[in-house]
Amino acid sequence: MIKYYIILFIIFGLLSCNNENNKQEIITKDTTITESAKVILNNIIIISPLSGETYKIGEKIELLFDLKSSIKIDSVRYVVNGNIVYTGVKIDYKINTDSFRVGLNKIKVRCFYDGKSESKKSLITLKSDITPKPLKYKLINTYAHDIKAYTQGLVYENGFLYEGTGQWGESTLRKVKPETSELIQSYNLPNNVFGEGVVIVGDKIIQLTWQSKTAYRYNKNTFSLINTFNYQTQGWGITNYKENVIMSDGTNILHVLEPNFFTKLSEIEIYDDNGPLNQLNELENVDGSLFANVYLSNFIVEINLENGKVISKLDLSKLVPKEYKNENDLVLNGIAYNKENKHFYVTGKRWPVLYEIEIIR
């Protein structure tokens, strides 16, 4: 008899362990459901949209799922980027994407049944519904530019250009008189860093580096180095954005950073009507519109920072110096804006010329 009880105890213990191993946490509609009622659920199959699919802003997307087995549904909830767009009993529902953002969007379906709920999600990409409008320009002036300056960043303030230059062993921060190309002030970066974009924040200047993931902060008046701080991506271009700064890293993603400690606050994905726009380089924020050089091209694009859409495009091919027409790297790079006359200064890497232009809409 004792042996019989021992055998029953062992069998009961093995069954309990097996049940424990098959438990899985699920979100339940009824919080009184017991632990033993929690089982593995894999009943939902998403039919549309599938992860990885691409749509255009404005298209209607059919939300549709199926169930692996016959289950009586209590309710269905569709959630887009954390916002509930539908709650009811339909397993299919069409949503309009007019108010969606470009880039990655998360769509989740949650099905409630038998006092439980199960959810699945899809990640889809939305590209812009806008074909970028071509911009025109008027050439106002042509000035000399130092061919030793491998231009990576350009900012205009109170009659001076502040220019960040790159290349190993050659990277500098410069203050230049644009009309005469006179070098007023400069600072040489360490030989082991590659200088990138620059931005003025109050009485300070911040300069990025390419692969060192280090930004340099200077006193704007003296060019004395105040401190350095780190970030997590490559550094390409940088400009002001409301009370913060916005930085490019060579992809289609822009990073919004707090300027005092470079804490990342958010990011903005940039798309045109063809898809993600990569190689975003030197940046200039003009009254809420972002102008960006597209690296290895002669184009500057204008971006709506509220939705990440490319809204216009400026072709400056005719301004490329003749001797640079076939250069792979010595390309257009550098945008500075003069708020007083609403003119732009543009140049390129080691270009002998600096142009003053007016953009015509």
Evaluate whether 18 touches 10 at the Cβ level (below 8 Å): no
The domain ranges of the chain are: 27-127, 133-360
Residues of the chain with pLDDT > 90, as a percent, come to: 66
Evaluate whether 257 touches 251 at the Cβ level (below 8 Å): no
Cis peptide bond prior to 190, omega within 30° of 0: no
pLDDT of residue 40: 45
pLDDT of residue 65: 83
Average pLDDT for 265-283: 95
User: What is the DSSP annotation of 60-105?
Assistant: EEEEEEEESS----SEEEEEETTEEEEEES-SEEEEE-TTPPSEEE
Beta carbons within 8 Å of 325's beta carbon, 6+ residues apart:
none
* Low-confidence winner among 24-33, 106-115, 141-150, 300-309 (lowest mean pLDDT): 24-33
Kindly list the distances between the CA atom of residue 209 and the CA atoms of 132, 194, 293, 316, in Å, as whole numbers in the listed order: 30, 5, 17, 26
pLDDT of residue 342: 95
Average pLDDT for 68-78: 81
Domain 133-360 has CATH 3.20.20.70: no
CA atoms of 122 and 105, how far apart (whole Å):
8
Instruction: Convert the pLDDT of each residue in 179-198 to its tens digit.
Output: 999 999 999 999 999 999 99
pLDDT of residue 64: 86
Please determine, for residue 21, whether its predicted confidence score (pLDDT) is greater than 70.
no
Domain 27-127 has CATH 2.60.40.10: yes
Same fold, 27-127 and 133-360: no
pLDDT of residue 22: 37
Phi, psi of 275 (to 5 degrees): 140, -155
> Token pair for residue 104?
């990655």
Confidence band, pLDDT 50/70/90 cuts, at residue 41? low
pLDDT of residue 11: 40
Q: For the chain, what is the largest distance between any 2 Cα atoms, rounded to a whole number of angstroms?
A: 107
Average pLDDT for 146-172: 96
How far apart, in Å, do the first and last CA atoms of the chain sit? 97
CA atoms of 173 and 160, how far apart (whole Å):
13
With a threshold of 0.85, does the pTM exceed it? no
Confidence band, pLDDT 50/70/90 cuts, at residue 222? very high
Query: Which helix (DSSP H) or strand (DSSP E) does residue 205 occupy?
Result: strand 204-209
pLDDT of residue 9: 41
Instruction: Convert the pLDDT of each residue in 43-53 to its tens digit.
Output: 778 888 988 99
How far is CA 214 from its chain centroid? 19
